[in-house]
Amino acid sequence: MTFLIKWDSEQPFYLQIRNQVVEAMARGQIRPGNALPSIRALAEQLAINLHTVHKAYQLLDQEGYIHLSRRQGGIVRDLRNPNHAFLEGWQERLSTILSEAFAQGMTSQDILQYYRQITQEFAGTTPPGSEEAILDE
């Protein structure tokens, strides 16, 4: 997968990285057991600070998406069921984002259309056997 930093985004760099990893997982571009690029390599590739990448990986580890170890770097975990802590915050954020849509005058149909548009990218999971490169340099 390819990482891309938007230098003029309002989102912190570490969150951009975190989000891109999560999206890649959802799309099946990286799968349980796969290794993320090393902190050093990714920092160099993106021309940002080591600490920033480290922070992103720590967050991913803390949220349960990866297992971060000194030896192996970041390994994607196999998550089957979200834990309670995740669900609680997630629901609230979903509620907020849906409220915005309704308050802005969107209908349930509009929203579900966007939902399908987004999730069909996720549904297209690559077959379990295929092991593609994590990072195309």
> In the set 1, 60, 66, 73, which binds DNA (CB under 7 A)?
73
Partner from DNA, a copy of itself, none contacting 99, C-beta within 5 to 8 A by type = a copy of itself
39 CA to centre of own chain: 16
CA dihedral over 22, 27, 33, 34, signed as positive or negative: negative
User: Cβ closer to a copy of itself: 2 or 86?
Assistant: 86
Query: Pattern of binders to a copy of itself over 72-111, x per CB under 8 A?
Result: x--x---xxxx---x---xx-xxxxxxxxxxxxxx-x--x
Q: Are 14 and 5 in contact (CB under 8 A)?
A: no
Distance CA 46, CA 20 (A): 13
CB of 94 to a copy of itself, least distance (A): 6
